[in-house]
Amino acid sequence: MSAVKDFKPAGLAGIHLPKDLVIKIPELGDPQWVKRPAGHWYLPLMFDVAGGVTVNVMRYETPGIVGRHVHDGPVYSYTIEGSWHYPEHDWVAEAGSFVWEPTGDIHTLTVKESMMALYVMHGGLITVDKDDTPIGYDNCLSLLGYCDQWYRDHGMGEDYVKQFIR
């Protein structure tokens, strides 16, 4: 037996150790995809409510923009298909690209055709106007609430969103 494989934390940590989370990305059109106000589809994978971390897949079927914003924590992304970019920077995230967004970087996510990408967002997303004045805010809890309401409104039930909470 392997010491690593057989390791189990002592005390309450061992009793309440969470189970693995494995989610197959459903086809677009599956009711698990949530339509966001900016026009893209949002697939929650995990809401770490204690750590303030959101893991999701974002998909644009057509050109679109997530308005000018800044994050109050780092964001990691992996582009699954298509491409996207920030006009404020000189790079394009194509399929297979990993992107690290530092805390405090102001940018405008822009999709010229279509894209699908995995995002891990620590903290929140602050929408800003042309003068960098905050005009909106989303974080793990507000996104959880938005998805919860979407699932209720689309007949998924009041407990559906709980499967994504960690």
List, for residues 46-101, the tens digit of each pLDDT value.
Answer: 999 999 999 999 999 999 999 999 999 999 999 999 999 999 999 999 999 999 99
CA dihedral 164, 97, 27, 34 (to 10 degrees): 50
Cβ(148)–Cβ(161) under 8 Å? yes
What are the structural domains of the chain? 37-161 (2.60.120.10)
pLDDT in tens, 39-51: 899 999 999 999 9
Please indicate, yes or no, whether the overall pTM of this predicted structure exceeds 0.85. yes
Burial of 142 by CB count in 10 Å (0-12 exposed, 13-18 middle, 19+ buried)? middle
